[in-house]
Structures are given as structure tokens and as C-alpha cells.
Amino acid sequence: MNRTVELNIDGKPVELPTVVGSEGEVGIDIATLRNKTGCITLDPGYGNTGACKSAITFIDGEQGILRYRGYDIAELAEKSTFIETAYLLIYGELPTRPELAAFSDLLTENQMLHEDMRHLFDGFPPTAHPMAILSAMINAASSYHPNIISKREERFPWHAARLISQVRTIAAYSYRKAHGLPTIYPKTTLKYTANFLHMMFSHPGEDCDLKPEVVKALDLIFLLHADHEQNCSTSTVRMVASSRANLFASASAGVCALWGPLHGGANQAVLEMLEEIHADGDDGTKFLNQVKNKTTNRRLMGFGHRVYKNFDPRAVIIKQQCDKVLSQLHKSDPLLDIAKKLEEIALHDDYFIARKLYPNVDFYSGIIMRAIGIPMDMFTVMFAIGRMPGWIANYKEVMEDTDSRICRPRQIYTGSTLRSYTPMESR
């Protein structure tokens, strides 16, 4: 039976329907609220607002559950690959062998940037952040393929493959450019993640050594980042898509939203924090005291999450992978020791316990990336490469939803009421 809820506004009852999700969560459908009452809801930060119905990713933040299309993240991390998971997210089902082969071929076919795009990289100063380059280049890429802007839905698989494949090429080119290194073209014989590492670290005439454990570790990082329901960047992608902007423009906006340190930029911020603590000779105690007394406005980066009020399941997997990779590469990292110490103190500290603050996906991912040679300013770019399938799946969902309307929130106005223009001499 469909439940309804009753609001009472100025003594007048208003009945509103509810929507129940497949995992049992209940939303109050307020679509008719303003028409019926003249009121709107106010929810800064959207902590209580469901902006859409979606069949892509399920999170239960209280229980620490994350599932892509019904599959538990731990099982996918163990058994799947980033590209298979990308297919799952975008098309809804795990691919058959021929479907996966066709998807892989499409990625390979679309991996080269238009040659003229290489000149665009020259326009950026060496100090440009790779996220700025990534966002600009994704948007620019649509100009080289005008049919992306047309409304031909049957071309969607090509556009999606082009975006997934080229984001990796753009990322590698931006790294090479920033370091004054010659561009390395992708190879048709290499799989997605190995090809990315090749473009990053090979030299003309000298291919880099693609260690399987390094390829596997980065592939896992991409997979764990592949989607996370209505976070800031995905909501941005959906918002832009709602205006019927093209896929590349929507994804480019997603990159900008991801860049901030409270979102994807946290992986870089975590490493900067750990380096600072290390340089300070602190074991983490002094830093945590500063965080808790709030006088410095600092946060323990890589901790806390809007949705998870328990362990972020991705953080558990990444932490294990971090230990594994460092041991496989015979490396030790003092920053890992500091991170573990910070985690241990925080998990037993009343400040963090009371606020349900646990390590999130970014807490350990940077240490793995550092161990495999990814420079710190590329960390958030790795996140963007990983998140691309999730953004594309959400874009597709918006485009296929025949009821979808342009996203246009309202506001409670708090500025001046009507007043007359004051001439300059009277101000």
C-alpha cells in the first residue's frame, strides 16, 4: 500500500505521497507542495533532498554498503576490472564476453585525440593544474566531433567510449606537458589502465616496465571511484545534462565540481596534510588537537562523509591494497605510518566518534598513487578518470528519463525589499 504523509501548514492539512526505493528507503514526494501550499522546502547542502530516482548505485551510509547495479563493491573489487565495471554502470548488466570485447574495441578505436588538440595543450602555462587542463580539454574535445552535440542517441555508445578512452589520453598528455616531456601515443595492444601508465611513463623508443601489481592497483583505484550516486560532481553532471547540454560539456562540469578539496580534491589534500605533519616531526597528535579545537579551521582530510556514518567500504579495500602494493614494490612510506596513527587516534577519540567520522576513500588512495609514481597534482585526475563511467551512466539516465525536467531549484530570498534607486551624490 502506498503511504502518504500529512503536513499541517497554518492549520490546513496537506497530504503528500511517498516514493519507496527498491531497498526500502522512503522519500516524501513534494512535487505538488508549492502548488498546494505556496511553500517550498529549504535544505542547504541537500542533506535531506532526493534530487532524482536512480537505478545505478545504492549506498547505505549507516551500514557502510556500496553497490553498483546491485553488485557489492567488495565483490567487484575482487572479481571485476575497471572496464567491465564501467560497462556494468553504463549499460546496467555485466557484459557477456562478446559485449566486453566490443566495448574494449570501441575504447581502443577512440583512444586517439584529434591531432590538432595537441596544440591546445601548448596554450597552458607549466604551472596549470591538470584538473584545469582536463576540464578544458574534455569540453574542447566535443568541438572536434560535432555529432556529439547533435541529438543522435544511437551514437551514444561511441560518445561514451570516446569520453572514457580520451579522458585517459588527455590526463597523460597534461602530465607530459607539465613536465616538458614528449607526448606518448596510446598503443592498440594495451588494455585501458596499462595503456594509461604507458602514456604517462614511457619514453620515445623506450617503453616503461608495466608491473602487473601496479597496473592492478591503479585499475582497482579507478574501479572503486567509478560511481557514488548523487555526490557533488555527479549532481553537477545531472544538473548540466538537465539543460540538454552534450555529454562532454556535462562531464567537463563534473571535473570542475570534483576538483574541490571537500570532494575529489581531498586525495591531494590528504597527502599535503601528511607531508606537513611529517615535516613538522609530529606523529599526528598535535595536528589532531588543532583539528579538534577548531581554532585553525583545519580538518582531518580524508575523514568524514556526508553519507557514510560508518566505514566507507572503499576505504577498507584501499587500505588493504595500500599495504599490499607497498610490500610488493618493497617500499615503505613514513606517510603511511602517520596515516595509520591518525586513523587509530581518531577512531578512539570522542570528537570523531560523536560526529561519526571515519576514513573515506581518499585517506589511503594517495599513498598508493605516490608509491606507483603518480605525482600529487594528478591524484584528483585519477579520481576523474575513475568517475567517468558513473557520470556517463547518470547522464544517460537523465537523457532517457522521459519525465526529466530542467533542474532549477528555488530559494528563500533574504535580501532587501523594494527600495528606490539612490542617486550617486546621495550615497
Question: Known catalytic residues?
Answer: 305, 362
**Which residue's CB is nearer to ligand ACO, number 303 or number 364?**
303
Nearest approach, Cβ of 307 to ligand ACO (angstroms)?
A: 8
**Which residue's CB is nearer to ligand ACO, number 73 or number 117?**
73
Nearest approach, Cβ of 342 to ligand ACO (angstroms)?
A: 10
| b/e burial code for range 285-307 (CB count within 10 A of at least 16 → b) | eebbeebeeeeeeebbbbbbbeb
Contacts with ligand ACO by CB under 6 A lie at 45, 231, 262-264, 266, 291, 299-306, 355, 357, 360-362
**Which residue's CB is nearer to ligand ACO, number 110 or number 231?**
231
Q: For residue 181, give every residue at least 6 positions away whose Cβ sits within 8 Å of its Cβ, in sequence order, or none.
A: 175, 203
Report the distance separating Cα 379 and Cα 373, nearest Å. 11
Which amino acid is it at 57? T
Q: What DSSP string runs through 187-211? A: -TTS-HHHHHHHHHH-BTTB-----
Contact assessment for residue 412 and residue 42, using Cβ atoms and an 8 Å cutoff: yes
Report the distance separating Cα 374 and Cα 357, nearest Å. 28
Angle between helices 247-259 and 156-178 (to 10 degrees): 40
Contact assessment for residue 228 and residue 390, using Cβ atoms and an 8 Å cutoff: yes
Nearest approach, Cβ of 379 to ligand ACO (angstroms)?
A: 11
**Which residue's CB is nearer to ligand ACO, number 216 or number 306?**
306
**Which residue's CB is nearer to ligand ACO, number 64 or number 95?**
64
The x, y and z cell numbers of residue 182, run together, are 614528449
For residue 183, the number of C-alpha atoms closer than 13 Å in the C-beta half-sphere is 15
**Which residue's CB is nearer to ligand ACO, number 84 or number 362?**
362
The x, y and z cell numbers of residue 262, run together, are 571537500
Nearest approach, Cβ of 188 to ligand ACO (angstroms)?
A: 33
Residue nearest to ligand ACO (CB): 304
Q: Output the CA–CA distances (angstroms, integers) from residue 298 to 66, 147, 289, in the order listed.
A: 28, 46, 10
Nearest approach, Cβ of 203 to ligand ACO (angstroms)?
A: 33
Contact assessment for residue 136 and residue 168, using Cβ atoms and an 8 Å cutoff: no
Q: If you ran DSSP here, which 8-state letter would residue 7 be given?
A: E
Contact assessment for residue 250 and residue 410, using Cβ atoms and an 8 Å cutoff: no
Q: How far is CA 93 from the centre of its chain?
A: 21
**Which residue's CB is nearer to ligand ACO, number 343 or number 362?**
362
H or E stretch covering 382:
helix 379-400
Nearest approach, Cβ of 302 to ligand ACO (angstroms)?
A: 5
Nearest approach, Cβ of 288 to ligand ACO (angstroms)?
A: 9
